[in-house]
Amino acid sequence: MLRRIANLGRLLAGLFVVLLVYLAGVQVIWGPRLADTAQNPRLAITAQQVQWGRILDRHLAVLTDSTTQDGRQVRRYAAGSSLAHLLGYRSARYGLSGLEARYDPELLGLPARDPWEALLEAAGRPPRGNDLVLTIDSAVQRAAVQVLDGARGAVVALDPRTGAVLALASAPGFDPASIDAAWSVLSRDPGAPLLDRATSGEYAPGSSFKPIVLAAALERGRVTQQTEVNCAASITVQGAVIRNFEHEQYGMMTVPQAFAVSCNVAFVQIGLATGADAILGAARSFGLGRAPRFDLPAASGHLPDSGTLGPRGLAQISFGQGSLLVTPLQMALVAGTIANRGVLMRPFVLSQVRTSDGRILESYAERGTQVVLPPAINAEIAQDMVEVVARGTGTAAQIPGVAVAGKTGTAENPDGPTHAWFIAFAPADHPTVAVAVVLEHAGVGGQAAAPAARRVLVAALAAQAAEAAHP
């Protein structure tokens, strides 16, 4: 009986040991994640006790701050719905999104890392969150929102020298101030207004992918700027007939000329000569196929597996079709990398965290770099992109007195008319702004997206000139 008593005791003790292990999991290992789920009512209680931090643009203009309504703190938005996807909403019922979600601890001042702030709170001042200063320029953002008016699509503009995002717009949008009332309509809208197309919209790149094909071909030495290719009306690859977009044929022309007129048939030949490994490798080094590290959740897009691509698949990705998918943020980074002498700057939108009385806690000028292309090859691609705007498919993006480099894209897709793409940077000799525009089902890139990109470029250059004059 003694042994059996001991066994029974061990069994009961074992149950409590299981409980201990389980508690360690719930409280210590998964505790922080579980406690941070939006359904935990403690978060909202804590959040209401703190004066929420504000979000400011690069010139310290207020983008959002809070006010008291019926005894509760609510957000108000200086520019209405213009920055809805980027700033996000702050809802008691639906939780947080965008930067509100990403930087919630900072906005609530939760990591009490500032001893001075802690002292003031101890002295009785209501706790205040920290302010976020963004790299966003409200004037550029306004232009981006305007070109998307009534359309579906996205605009990303950034400073290629640093990776600082100047504008990030997605349409259709929503009003973050009335998210609770509008939620049921918004979440069921087929236009997906809650989706941030700029970071998470995945599209076929079409011909805006050609700079990458060209980079791979130049790097591998398969072509030079002087190589002549035949831009015939069509080419047959393993029984599949590939035609130029509007059935045009130019005959023999140099690679820059074929790039400027965006000749698919010529690029199929270049692509077949370069090979899938080289093209997809170049795409990967430009950051395609994986989610960029950014302040907001961003989609990865898709690159096919080079092993499964036959010659037909290779022919299709040579002009940006097939199973390729990219996001506007990724394409803005492609333009930015070429603008920045082949060096990819990690994109970012948070430039400073400040206390409510303006003392700087964190400050970022850039968040990391990565060399993508040798400068010589990069310069050739940049030159070819200038030709696109000067004499090719992108003339609608010309700005008087400023050399603009760009590439059009007209992406076929299974859902309807083509998506219009334009990626660009300016001024071409010392670029200070890079932009990517996609307009869903808007037709031809050079006609729909290039003028839109032009307006954003003009706004950004004007804003930068003003900033240089009055720093």
Partner 1 sequence: MTAARLAGTLTLRARERGLLVGALALGALGLAAVHLALYPQDSWRPIVVGTVALAGFLVVHAALCASGHGADEVLLPVAAGLSAVGLVMVYRLRPDYLVRQAGWIALGLVALLVVLGTLRDLRWVRRYAYLFAVLGLMLLLATVLVGVERNGARQWLLLGGVAVEPGEVVKLLLVAFFAGVLTDARGLLTLPGPRRWRAEVGRLGPMLLCCVGALLLLVFQRDLGLAMLYYGIFIAMLYVATGRGDYVVLGLAAFLVGAAVCYHLFGHVRVRVDVWANPWASASTGGYQILQGLYGLATGGVVGTGLGAGHPDLMPAAYTDMIFPAIGEELGAAGTFCVVALYLLLIGRMFRIAARAPGAFESLIAAGLATALGLQAFIILGGSTRLIPLTGIPAPFLTYGGSAAVSNFVALGLLLGVSRRPPAAAEVRGAPAHR
64-83: contacts with partner 1 (CB under 8 A) = none
Binding mask 147-166 for partner 1 (x = CB under 8 A): --------------------
Scanning residues 246 to 285, which ones bind partner 1 (CB under 8 A)? Answer: none
312 in Cβ contact with 304 (< 8 Å): no
Q: How far is the CB of 357 from partner 1 (least distance, A)?
A: 26
Q: Which is nearer to partner 1, 14 or 374 (CB)?
A: 14
Residues 97-112, buried b or exposed e (16+ Cβ, 10 A)? bbbbbbbbebbbbeee
* Active-site hit among 91, 207, 318, 356: 207
Q: Is 207 assigned a catalytic role?
A: yes
Q: Find the shortest distance in angstroms from Cβ 26 to partner 1.
A: 5
- Binding track over 404-423 against partner 1, x by CB under 8 A: --------------------
Considering the complex, state which of residue 19 and residue 61 has its C-beta at the smaller distance from partner 1.
19
Size of the site for partner 1 (CB under 8 A): 34
Nearer to partner 1, 20 or 365 (CB): 20
**Residue at 393: amino acid letter:** T
In DSSP notation, 381-449 reads HHHHHHHHHHHSTTGGG-BTTB--EEEEEEEEETTEEEEEEEEEEESTTS--EEEEEEETT---IIIII
CB count in 10 Å sphere of residue 16:
9
Distance CA(280)–CA(153), nearest Å, equals 26
Record the tokens describing residue 115, joined without a space. Answer: 């001893």
Please answer whether residues 405 and 338 qualify as being in contact, where contact means their C-beta atoms are separated by less than 8 angstroms: yes
Residue indicated by tokens 């609530």: 108
Cα–Cα distance measured from residue 126 to residue 122, given in angstroms and rounded to the nearest whole number: 9
Question: What is the smallest separation between the CB atom of 40 and partner 1, expressed in angstroms?
Answer: 4
Question: Half-sphere exposure (CA, 13 Å, Cβ side) for 3?
Answer: 0
Minimum distance between the CB of residue 17 and partner 1, rounded to whole angstroms? 8
Closer residue to partner 1 in complex, CB, 33/188: 33
**Minimum distance from CB of 10 to partner 1 (Å)?**
9
Nearest residue to 64 via CA among 79, 47, 85 = 79
Contacts for 6 with CB less than 8 Å, ≥ 6 apart:
none
Q: How far is the CB of 24 from partner 1 (least distance, A)?
A: 7
Smallest distance, partner 1 to C-beta of residue 75, A: 23
Closer residue to partner 1, CB minimum distance, 34 or 112: 34
The footprint of partner 1 on residues 3-42 (CB under 8 A) is: 4-9, 12-13, 15-20, 22-24, 26-28, 30-35, 37, 39-42
Verify binding: residue 470, partner 1, rule CB under 8 A.
no
396: region left, alpha or beta (phi > 0 left; psi from -120 to 50 alpha): alpha
Residues between 39 and 58 with contacts to partner 1, criterion CB under 8 A: 39-42, 45
* Closest CB to partner 1 among residues 33, 247: 33
Q: Largest Cα–Cα distance of the chain, in whole Å?
A: 100
Q: Closer CB to partner 1, residue 35 or residue 252?
A: 35
Residues that bind partner 1 (CB under 8 A): 1-2, 4-9, 12-13, 15-20, 22-24, 26-28, 30-35, 37, 39-42, 45
**Where in the sequence numbering do the catalytic residues fall?**
207
